[in-house]
């Protein structure tokens, strides 16, 4: 049974009509893990498992209005952001979320889709995200391509993953999770780097699967669920990684490209 007093997750992200990533994946994840999902949409995309073919932006003022109305009425025990397509949306959200800095905030800096398509315009949004949103973030989750962009470091091994995480923290985030799914090898490592100077390596055996569409969205939302329920950051990451692992392992195999996960595994 959902504990309505401690389970509200507000997602701020783009829409994926194929259902594998974005708001759709987020809502399925949050619901499967026993939390209440609220969602504000930042962009509409035209995509499927083979790629992203179009993006329609939502006006920043309307994004801010969506978020504000939810927080004023329903509230949230954790906020998770995904695709923030342009600088104006980032600026609008930063202004609003700075008023709610008592709510844990998971920032998934969605820049590159699983298909390899770019979901962010140029360097300006990256700089705005680093300057305005990172200082508000409890956790920044970044895959290898995103971590390279955010840190300026060429990531080739565990040591450089940690270094990239440390560089991300210089912008004010409390913690950074550098995800190693894009690295070669039979073992996948994700590394949590914290502002107290510590780091924690999480490992699991790689599943050789093409069904990895939306893994980043799913993981960040699963972590947000753990936090919303009152769990520690490390425990939330451990549980979220297990959920994503099983969701990949039991994926339905839909689509011609990078297929979606089985979000109902939770």
Would you name the residues annotated as active-site residues?
179, 212, 214-217
Q: Contact at 8 Å (CB) between 26 and 14?
A: no
Instruction: Compute φ and ψ for 209, nearest 5 degrees.
Output: -145, 145
- HSE (CB half, 13 Å, CA atoms) of 124? 8
Q: 64: number of CA atoms within 13 Å, CB side?
A: 15
Distance between alpha carbon 131 and the CA centroid of its chain, in Å?
18
Cβ distance 105 to 136 under 8 Å? yes
Angle in degrees, 0-180, between the axes of helices 60-73 and 87-97, rounded to the nearest 10: 20
Q: Is 35 left (phi over 0), alpha (psi -120 to 50) or beta?
A: beta
Give the E-state strand segments of 118-264 in sequence order: 139-143, 175-179, 187-194, 199-205
Task: Residue 235: name the closest of 225, 250, 245, 244 by CA.
Answer: 225
| CB 264, CB 28: distance < 8 Å | yes
């Amino acid at each position: 049974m959902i504990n309505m007093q401690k389970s509200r997750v507000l997602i701020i992200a783009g829409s994926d009509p194929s259902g594998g990533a974005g708001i759709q994946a987020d809502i399925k994840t949050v619901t499967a893990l026993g939390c209440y999902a609220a969602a504000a949409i930042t962009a509409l995309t035209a995509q499927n498992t083979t790629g992203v073919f179009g993006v329609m932006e939502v006006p920043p003022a309307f994004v801010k209005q969506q978020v504000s109305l939810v927080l004023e009425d329903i509230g949230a025990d954790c906020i998770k952001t995904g695709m923030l397509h342009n600088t104006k949306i980032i600026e609008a959200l930063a202004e609003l979320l700075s008023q709610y800095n008592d709510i844990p905030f998971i920032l998934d800096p969605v820049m590159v889709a699983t298909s390899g398509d770019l979901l962010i315009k140029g360097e300006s949004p990256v700089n705005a995200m680093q300057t305005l949103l990172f200082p508000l973030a409890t956790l920044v989750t970044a895959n290898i391509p995103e971590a390279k962009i955010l840190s300026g470091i060429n990531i080739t091994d565990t040591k450089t993953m940690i270094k990239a995480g440390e560089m991300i923290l210089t912008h004010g985030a409390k913690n950074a999770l550098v995800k190693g799914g894009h690295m070669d090898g039979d073992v996948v490592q994700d590394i949590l780097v914290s502002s107290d100077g510590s780091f924690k390596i999480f490992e699991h055996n790689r599943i050789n699967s093409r069904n990895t569409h939306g893994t980043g969205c799913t993981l960040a939302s699963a972590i947000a669920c753990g936090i919303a329920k009152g769990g520690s950051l490390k425990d939330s990451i451990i549980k979220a990684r297990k959920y994503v692992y099983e969701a990949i392992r039991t994926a339905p195999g839909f689509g011609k490209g990078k297929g979606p996960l089985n979000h109902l595994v939770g």
